[in-house]
């Protein structure tokens, strides 16, 4: 346990007690799920009365996060975009997390808006609906009408939500410090996950970022027909209040209403997928939450996007790597895919590259037997993510989010059209992107970037070489070696030498009857006259020897050739 984690937990002891109580309940349910006695398995129930021990482990994790409240729900939603860390099955389960936070009282919401805009509500809105359209973990949305007559949706942060999230993030950081040293949690990288969550939640709490994202999307997609991004109103928005155009349409999730309204669902699925691929491959800025509830179909089959809080951005170099990985899957190029995976991700020092190459080849061979129009891209991406996770390769957050977004995109397309295939939509981009990668403008940018990096290297290289030569001449040049995994071996070696020395020394004390010696009426006959220090030393050496044998045997290295 690290000392630095204690203040974070102590400052919020009441909330910590609540969190620990929920975790214990669901952890106990996990243990009870393996018990065959029926009445014991039915002891624990969730808030809805469901028997916890009869639920799967992934379901119990989702229920625990939902019971812990908005911050943990948001954590689960963010982890659902990282199947490379938590696994595909848990990520899919966490996608079901929905935050239906109770709405704040009307007086509190009006006070927040007036305080943020620094004027009475009536000066901005001619009409304001006190009943919210929706209420989520961070804020709630109200319909209103500006003084100019425009219908708008006003997103307002919940009262005190920043402080609640700050407390919960502090608790998560404290827990991450505690469990980061446990071997069973190493693959999940708890400290890195909490740091990423802190950055993400901090961005989502700033509504001015969402406003800028909406403006950027409107500029990027202005020339694309059949797409509408809601207009935002900066004069009526702050970091806690966001005012944007109200869009009236049918949510993509409501396929029955769309079909009844006469819309062509196959066309909507294809145009929606094409819109997202344009954002990824052309703009480099994409809407990262394409579930059917965030996409509206407006009059004239126009596609409208909502909620720009979760946005993905990739630079040109990262986009090139991702394009290569995606097309390696489509073209069944195993060598290229293995190369891209190891270049993109942070690989562990003991990575078995030959085994990885074999598994990638098997993965590609499996999909080679399928026709291109039958290739299920989301299934292929999920399988590749599990492969990456097995080898403890950590993908950049932006790439992991992009992979998950493509899986969700194909799922949304299949929601509208069961035989929808994202590969068919991507195929036209393949030749276009192949040409774009070899275009003079893009090659010029690439060479300019390489030239800048080489120029920087040449600028610092002479000084670095001079410094090394001076250190060698003065005898101050040191080479520091990091022996990964050597510490346990050294500890066992020292423990073995210590127990051996203790055994030999104690044997000498026993043979020379070094006092004090055992004796008297209560002393067993076979210990009469035995050196007490020697006997204690022998017992301690024996215990240390057993401890050493157990440690070696537990590591699996006792009889390995």
- Catalytic positions are 289
- For the chain, the C-alpha Rg in angstroms (whole number) is 31
What backbone torsions phi and psi does residue 205 show, to the nearest 5 degrees? -75, -15
SS (H, E, C) 397-455: HHHHHHHHHHHHHHHHHHHHCCCCCHHHHHHHHHHHHHHHHCCHHHHHHHHHHHHHHHH
What's the CA gap between 520 and 84, in Å, rounded? Answer: 68
What backbone torsions phi and psi does residue 553 show, to the nearest 5 degrees? -65, -40
Q: Is 15 in a helix, a strand, or coil?
A: helix
What's the CA gap between 185 and 182, in Å, rounded? Answer: 6
Q: Which residue has the tokens 């961005």?
A: 203
Query: Are 154 and 241 in contact, with CB atoms under 8 Å apart?
Result: yes
Query: Are 484 and 348 in contact, with CB atoms under 8 Å apart?
Result: no
Query: Are 275 and 227 in contact, with CB atoms under 8 Å apart?
Result: yes
What's the CA gap between 528 and 546, in Å, rounded? Answer: 27
What's the CA gap between 483 and 561, in Å, rounded? Answer: 22
Q: Which helix or strand (DSSP H or E) is residue 152 part of? A: strand 151-157
Q: Which helix or strand (DSSP H or E) is residue 23 part of? A: helix 13-32
> Among residues 267, 239, 263, 235, which one has the least CA distance to residue 251?
263
> Among residues 467, 107, 377, 412, which one has the least CA distance to residue 271?
412
Q: Which residue has the tokens 């910590």?
A: 16
Q: At what angle do helices 532-555 and 486-511 cross, to 10 degrees?
A: 160
Query: Are 169 and 72 in contact, with CB atoms under 8 Å apart?
Result: no
8-state DSSP, 39: H
């Amino acid at each position: 346990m690290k000392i630095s984690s204690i203040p974070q937990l102590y400052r919020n002891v009441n909330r910590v007690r609540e969190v620990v109580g929920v975790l214990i309940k669901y952890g106990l349910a996990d243990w009870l799920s393996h018990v065959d006695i029926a009445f014991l398995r039915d002891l624990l129930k969730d808030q809805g009365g469901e028997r916890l021990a009869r639920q799967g482990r992934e379901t119990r994790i989702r229920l625990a996060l939902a019971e812990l409240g908005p911050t943990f729900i948001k954590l689960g939603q963010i982890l659902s975009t990282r199947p490379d860390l938590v696994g595909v099955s848990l990520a899919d389960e966490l996608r079901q997390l929905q935050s239906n936070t109770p709405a704040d009282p009307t007086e509190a919401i009006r006070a927040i808006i007036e305080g943020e805009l620094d004027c009475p509500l009536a000066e901005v809105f001619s009409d304001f609906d006190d009943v919210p359209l929706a209420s989520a973990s961070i804020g709630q949305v109200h319909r209103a009408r500006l003084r100019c007559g425009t219908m708008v949706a006003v997103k307002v942060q919940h009262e005190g939500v920043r402080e609640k999230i700050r407390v919960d993030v502090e608790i998560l950081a404290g827990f991450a410090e505690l469990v980061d040293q446990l071997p069973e949690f190493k693959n999940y990288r708890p400290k890195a996950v909490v740091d990423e969550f802190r950055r993400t939640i901090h961005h989502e709490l700033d509504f001015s970022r969402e406003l800028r994202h909406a403006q950027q999307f409107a500029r990027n997609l202005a020339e694309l027909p059949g797409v509408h991004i809601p207009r935002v109103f900066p004069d009526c928005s702050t970091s806690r209040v966001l005012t944007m155009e109200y869009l009236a349409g049918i949510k993509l999730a409501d396929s029955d209403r769309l079909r009844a309204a006469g819309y062509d669902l196959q066309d909507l699925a294809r145009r929606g997928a094409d819109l997202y691929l344009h954002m990824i491959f052309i703009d480099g800025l994409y809407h990262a939450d394409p579930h059917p509830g965030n996409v509206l179909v407006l009059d004239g089959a126009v596609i409208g996007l909502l909620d720009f809080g979760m946005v993905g951005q990739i630079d040109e170099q990262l986009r090139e790597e991702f394009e290569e990985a995606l097309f390696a899957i489509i073209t069944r190029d195993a060598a290229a895919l293995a190369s891209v995976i190891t270049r993109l991700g942070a690989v562990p020092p003991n990575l078995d590259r030959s085994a990885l190459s074999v598994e990638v080849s098997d993965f590609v061979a499996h999909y080679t037997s399928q026709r291109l129009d039958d290739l299920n891209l989301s299934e292929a991406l999920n399988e590749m993510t599990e492969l990456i996770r097995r080898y403890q390769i950590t993908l950049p957050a932006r790439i992991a989010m992009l992979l998950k977004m493509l899986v969700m995109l194909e799922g949304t397309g299949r929601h509208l059209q069961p035989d929808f295939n994202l590969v068919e939509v991507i195929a036209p981009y393949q030749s276009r992107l192949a040409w774009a990668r070899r275009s003079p403008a893009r090659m010029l940018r690439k060479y300019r970037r390489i030239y800048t990096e080489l120029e920087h290297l040449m600028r610092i290289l002479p000084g670095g070489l001079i410094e090394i030569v001076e250190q060698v001449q003065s005898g101050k040049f040191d080479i520091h070696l990091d022996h990964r995994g050597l510490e346990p071996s050294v500890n066992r070696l020292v423990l073995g030498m210590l127990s051996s020395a203790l055994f030999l020394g104690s044997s000498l004390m026993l043979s020379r009857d070094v006092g004090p010696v055992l004796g008297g009426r209560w002393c067993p006959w076979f210990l009469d006259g035995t050196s007490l220090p020697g006997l204690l030393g022998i017992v301690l050496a024996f215990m240390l020897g057993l401890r050493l044998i157990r440690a070696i045997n537990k590591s699996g290295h006792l009889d390995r050739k």
